[in-house]
Amino acid sequence: MAFDRPKELLKPIKPRWIVLSFVLAIAVELLPLDATLANWLPDFTAMLALYWTLNQPRRFGIGWSFGIGLIADVASASVFGQHALAYSVISYLLLSRQRQVVMYNLGQQTLVVLGGLLISQFVMAVCRMLLGGPWAGSGYFIGPLIGALLWPLLTKVLLLPQRRGSLPG
Amino acid sequence: MDIASSPRFFRRGPKPLTRLLACGALSLGLLVADAKLHLLDPARGALTALLYPMQWLVTAPPEGLRQLDTFLTTQATLTHENQALRTYQLELEARLQRQAALQRENAELRQTLNLRSQHGGNTLPAEIVYTSRDPFTFTLIIDKGSMDGVQAGLPVIDARGLIGQITRVQPLTAEVTLLIERNHPVPVMIQRNGLRAVMYGMGGQAEIRHIAAHADVQVGDMLVTSGIDGVYPAGLPVAKVAMVDRNGGSPFARIVCTPLAGVGENRTLLVLNETLNLPPRPEAAPAPKTKSRRKRGSDE
């Protein structure tokens, strides 16, 4: 959309880039890591769901977040519907403020993303506690902090295919 | 204004809140169906099979590096290791011979006593593909699935002792729930005196509940499976008693145990594909007519 980045004209995104980004995020989810290291790894799938909701709201919305969440559920061997619920919720919250947030600069967006990722983790923790699981511990909330710090970088990388003359396709 | 004739750009489908409510209701339904009713295991199996090539791609490079490392191990290390292994093998062989004799003797004794032999079947070596990233559960994914004959409920051990139990099976992989998973029960027996108990996982460690405060349990006692549950064969080492807390105010002792098996260390495991030849369970006695509160607490 032309309003997304007022400072430069971008090529329209091809759906295959969206798909490829999610394939990579799920691959990260499948990496054989131990639990402490996995806590430090941000939830890239959630970050991508936020990114595409923010920048391509006509292509990517709550329904897609839900579907991606189901795949993330299987990839992380957690209960069905846990990631799906969390991603739908953050996707909805962001969508309701999308026109505002998309005008923010990257620093301000980072704060919004931090909030979104924390809400996602919180929803998942509450789901598991309602089903009788234990509290995940405060280490569970390190991932969102690192994820938010990586947001500017992620935005720059994901904009590459849309820049003129930078990549073929 | 006619909706059908408006340009495609203006048509946006249902409102976001409607979509959220639909997706939210669906996810909550899935959560309950999966966690409480266990209806979705086939769907999970299909999705896991779809993800399998990706999983292989992700795990292949570290595996390749490890093989390269094995290839480049120096000869000195190898000779040294070889020597150590040879001594160890001698020792093991001596032990094995002794055990073979004992096993024969045991079989004869059992025959004379007309007892059913409880062990049969075989073991299946498996490798850990990855540990689950889900921080709420203690599970491992192994590289053997229903196509290799793995079934849900089979016990899994490593070189040191019992590690857990297969809880979900997919065609190419299977999920092992570890001993230390919260409220995962294992019937155990104290090797020293034969006292039977049930050990429950606590998430990281395990504890024995409901054992009288004056019971003969000491720190350092070895716990082995008791084999009376029909799931685990008897005599597998499980855990060591790490702490016994006899609080005067409680009728039960608080006993904390550390599992023996390297829960987070090994890569290769053994799935015990043994069929336990147990006699059929006797018919349950008819419930007494009076209102009893027994049913409560037995739903675990």
Q: Where are the domains of chain B?
A: 48-113, 122-273
Shortest Cα distance, chain A CAs vs residue B55, angstroms: 6
Please tell me whether residue B235 adopts helix, strand or coil conformation.
coil
Could you say which of B31, B128, B132 has the minimum Cβ distance to residue A80? Answer: B31
Q: In this predicted model, which residue has the larger pLDDT, B71 or A81?
A: A81
pLDDT of residue B214: 83
* C-alpha to C-alpha distance for B145 and B300, rounded to whole angstroms: 27
Q: In this predicted model, which residue has the larger pLDDT, B250 or B220?
A: B220
Chain segment A87-128, per-residue pLDDT in tens: 999 999 999 999 999 999 999 999 999 999 999 999 999 988
- Chain B residues with CB under 8 Å of A30 CB are 51, 54-55, 58-59, 130
Lowest-pLDDT choice from A63-77, A148-162, B274-288: B274-288
Tell me the C-alpha to C-alpha distance, in Å, between residue B104 and each of B97, B173, B213, B250.
11, 36, 40, 47
pLDDT of residue B119: 47
Q: Hey, is the C-beta of A89 within 8 angstroms of any chain B C-beta? A: yes
* C-alpha to C-alpha distance for B272 and B121, rounded to whole angstroms: 8
Please tell me whether residue B131 adopts helix, strand or coil conformation.
strand
Chain segment A33-63, per-residue pLDDT in tens: 766 677 788 999 999 999 999 999 888 989 9
Give domain B122-273's CATH architecture. Answer: Beta Barrel (2.40)
Q: In chain B, which residue ranges form alpha helices assigned H by DSSP?
A: 16-35, 41-71, 75-113
pLDDT of residue B76: 79
| ipTM over cut 0.90 | no
Could you say which of A27, A80, A95 has the minimum Cβ distance to residue B57? Answer: A27
- Chain B residues with CB under 8 Å of A136 CB are 135-136
Give the pLDDT band (50/70/90) at residue A11.
Answer: confident
Could you say which of A71, A81, A128 has the minimum Cβ distance to residue B30? Answer: A81
**Per-domain residue ranges of chain A:** 15-29+41-162
CB contact set of B146 (below 8 Å; sequence gap of 6+)? B169, B170, B171, B174
pLDDT of residue B292: 46
A89-98, B43-52, B151-160, B197-206: which has the highest mean pLDDT?
Answer: A89-98
- Chain A residues with CB under 8 Å of B51 CB are 26, 30, 71, 74-75
For chain B, the average pLDDT equals 80
- Return left, alpha or beta for B235; rule: phi > 0 is left, psi -120 to 50 is alpha, else beta: left
Give the pLDDT band (50/70/90) at residue A29.
Answer: confident
Question: What spatial distance separates the first Cα and last Cα of chain A, rounded to whole Å?
Answer: 18
Give the pLDDT band (50/70/90) at residue B5.
Answer: low
* C-alpha to C-alpha distance for B87 and A151, rounded to whole angstroms: 57
The neighbour count for residue B210, using CB atoms within 10 Å, is: 10
Q: What is the percent of chain B with per-residue pLDDT over 70, rounded to a whole number?
A: 83
Rounded average pLDDT over B114-127: 63
Give the pLDDT band (50/70/90) at residue A3.
Answer: very low
pLDDT of residue B121: 59
